[in-house]
Structure 1
């Protein structure tokens, strides 16, 4: 916050009568308090106009607390007949003998891009004109107007004359200092808590700590609860899922996993001393259900990076705020550092090929090209041809992996992973004979991982119904283990119509195009269940 206030007063000293300040709503009290303290030390009057009641107040610090004192000189217009009457403060500030800083809230929505509504358009033009008059009239005076809001988007015709400042997310060092004050603890004891707070504003961190302050017994426990609070906050504010690395089993995709193990080595001090870098981005291309999203979680596990899962096409629903939302999200990712930004169904955001999709891709491309953080952008794609060519060139998405239909060996591994969730026998060994496995693998030819999971879950449910025909209560230590038989799996398979068979022409088109541009994510099948290992004379 100190840095933000310093930037404001640097612009004021350079005789800027208009300054735009973007600060999140939850930080408003902290910002106003910091401005009032600075003005008190410099003997500068500071005022704030409240649009809600059309009144002017002077900010003062009384006993270290912020106080608002009504300014009687400003009367406003009691009976407002036109929309401009609600912004009488702009006329008043031009003529008044009062000097200092005037903070205006609620102006930015009128200063964004043009609208088709004639009434709103004319009001916006009047406000722009009034601000430009202030910019000329007050340039040599001791008057400054701060336009304050959560979204400081300005239309192109006025952006050139109003410098903008954005309140950035705090660094981990700033968070450490703030948390030490909140908890009255030494820095050594709150490092974990500070790291858990990265990506949140100080007001959010304070709210999160206050919500759990009576329910933790150590700073480690507080860090865990603050991290859980952050995950929920990210979902509400940014509409993303924030997933910490977890232990998961992966069937196949050895070449892709090997590539990410190499990426991890590129983050070592030795690799950095050779000026080696992580890839800017990685594309996963293949038909639906082949495990692209699961692959992202596996890569998160290998790197030890949290995973931010974002539905790229969701930005289209934000309309005029889409660019602002994306910019704020990328700022969050940059501050978090050492994360994987996973863009799910990336190609769907470009299916319309309209101006919005091109602007969003431009913002993403610029950020990917210029960022210096250790962030890997991972994107899943079904139809590569939907993406603009500039997105797939080297330097943007450096590696492209084809995530294909699983081969026999991979389907065997996937079956064992899912069977082990219900039948403990598959966790520690094998149950079926090789001939039984070959029969199952033959019947599930062209099934993807999601479909194999569905088959196993159906078979487990049917096994449960056979084991317990009626509802009974049994203590957990007396429950019989589910033993899933081959015939249950084969029966469940009858209820699945694989996408690769149902939509064979579309799936094959996807696979062929992915093969032309993508690296294989799996080696050639050399398992005992490979088609090449079948003895046709046995």
Structure 2
């Protein structure tokens, strides 16, 4: 378990680490913590004054006295070297002169930082330089001199303090009515986890002025602030809520597995000693509901859905791909609890490092390490159409909780899919009447669509509605039958490919379809490992 930041910083100061780098946008909060540690005799034995430097204010003591009339960082470091007393110096936003991908740093500043590290390490008076910036940059010359300290996002208690303070400040306002009990305030604080204190304050303020009443219905405002966080990061896409799991026909084993893990990141699960679920890898026939399941899980669990485009990770300057992956992971953790959806993961991580000087291998390694070690409730759903191209280390236990195989829908699943899609269309006033959803129509269409994927069934119904629209009339049974007759399903055009995927999944993945839903009718079949005919690949288990 990670130890508190104050404990970590106190250890670094007592051990006389010369330079500490802290990556954070919340420099005021960092300064508050540094002052709290440096001035506490119980933490550092001998309290030390705090000095600060910025490009606008120059070098100053905490009492406001200006120590060097310079906004040049090299001159400020020279002035710091001449100070012969214990101190903690906090330099803000020094990262532009430390270099980064595509541009070198300032050699004079880097050299002076090395001089500072040498002087602070060797002299008798305890001195430490703390670098605070929104981007962590450590030039190769300073890799052995700089220690990176993680600064966590605000805790639930800190966010709750901001909310309570805002409510007290506006308690006498006739324009605000607070309709929250203590449990409601706790839900607001939990919803804001992952935001900075400033972002949480903005979200609470927006919720207050929305309609003059602060109540649980304002929780989506917090989600919108998280959407802004994702949008500004630029590497992830915030996906709007999709259908619920009950809106997906079939896949009962997969839905049951996911349903039993709802809320597993909350305190109730922790009381059982359970870790937060890591995620699932879903492979199978294209168009059979893999991506739809990712959207449905986030909607069913009531948490944000983020989509990671691997192409964005590898875009940009040389050396930035690894940083992009780390940035995407940090953003996902900041928005947690959330679902992180990686669509067609094999296109980003197949044959890693083949022709790119090892960049993809390093990015893949960062992702694997995070999957193995992550402690934040980020549930990863990865989908793959060509799973055999994925490296084996991604598939072993500890990365994903389970690997599921989604095959072509069975008769029972097609029946559910037709019922769902027909129900949506026939409720439309211009499309539906006089056609109605009845058992006979569903059974007929289910039989005619053998070998079709869920996406193909949906497309056939859309094509039939186009025919009805062309003549400005309601939908007819013949329209749907004709659309099915004119469609060549993927099970025909890609028969060999589907057979290969089923063969791979037979012993390596769990069938997403419940065993009781298997087709008793003849259908696309293949020999099983025991020589008997099985309608679908993937082993069947009970969850």
Q: 2:424 aligned with 1:415, yes or no?
A: no
Counterpart check, 1:239 vs 2:236: yes
* RMSD (CA atoms): 4.1
Please give the residue correspondences for 1:63-462 in structure 2 after superposition, counting only pairs within 5 Å: 71-74=67-70, 76=72, 87-95=74-82, 100-108=87-95, 111=98, 120-121=103-104, 123=105, 126-139=108-121, 140=123, 141=125, 143-155=127-139, 158-184=142-168, 190-216=185-211, 217-237=213-233, 239-241=236-238, 247=244, 248-263=246-261, 280-300=278-298, 306-317=304-315, 320-331=319-330, 333=332, 339-351=338-350, 353-354=352-353, 355-372=358-375, 375-424=378-427, 431=437, 434=440, 437=442, 440-441=445-446, 443-462=448-467
Q: How far off its partner does 1:433 sit? A: 6.3
Shift of 1:103: 3.1
Contact 2:278 2:379 survives alignment (8 Å): yes
TM-score, scaled relative to structure 2: 0.75
Quick one: structure 1 residues 105 and 232, their matched pair in 2 at CA, closer, same or farther if it must change by over 3 Å?
closer
The answer (yes or no) to whether the contact 2:426–2:437 under 8 Å persists in 1 is: no
Q: Does 1:16 align with 2:21?
A: no
1:181 CA displacement: 1.1
Displacement of 1:401 in angstroms is 1.2
Q: Is the 8 A contact 1:172 1:194 kept in 2?
A: yes
The change in CA–CA distance for 1:270 and 1:500 in structure 2 (over 3 A counts) is: same
Partners of 1:129 and 1:408 in 2: how far apart? 72
Tell me the alpha carbon deviations over residues 232-257 of structure 1, each in whole angstroms, 9 at most, x when there is no partner.
43233252326668634111111222
Counterpart-to-counterpart distance in 2, 1:236 and 1:419: 40
| Cα deviation 1:288-312 (Å, max 9, x = unaligned) | 2221011224444666665443334
**CA–CA distance in structure 2, aligned partners of residues 277 and 16 of structure 1:** 35
Gaps of 5+ in 1: 62-67, 77-85, 469-482, 533-538
| In structure 2, distance between residues paired with 1:394 and 1:37 | 43
Please give the TM-score of this superposition, normalised by the length of structure 1: 0.76
Corresponding residue pairs, total: 490
CA distance in 2, matches of 1:73, 1:5: 31
SS in 2 for 1:416: helix
Mapped to 2, the partners of 1:317 and 1:212 lie a distance apart of 37
Greater mean alpha carbon deviation, residues 373-382 or residues 4-13? 4-13
Structure 1 stretch displaced more, 251-260 or 104-113: 104-113
Residue 150 of structure 1: CA displacement? 1.3
Contact kept, 8 Å, 1:36 with 1:46, in 2: the verdict is: no
Q: Deviations over 1:121-146 (max 9, x none)?
A: 4x555544321211112332454322
- Please state whether the residue corresponding to 1:200 is helix, strand or coil: coil
Verify: 1:514 aligned to 2:511, yes or no.
Answer: no
- Indicate conservation of the 8 Å contact 1:47/1:102, yes or no: yes
In the aligned structure 1, how far is the partner of 2:395 from the partner of 2:322? 21
Given the superposition, is the C-alpha separation of residues 269 and 8 from structure 1 closer, same or farther in structure 2, using an over 3 Å criterion?
closer
Looking at secondary structure, tell me which structure has more helix per residue.
1
Tell me if the contact between 1:192 and 1:219 (Cα under 8 Å) persists in the aligned partners.
no
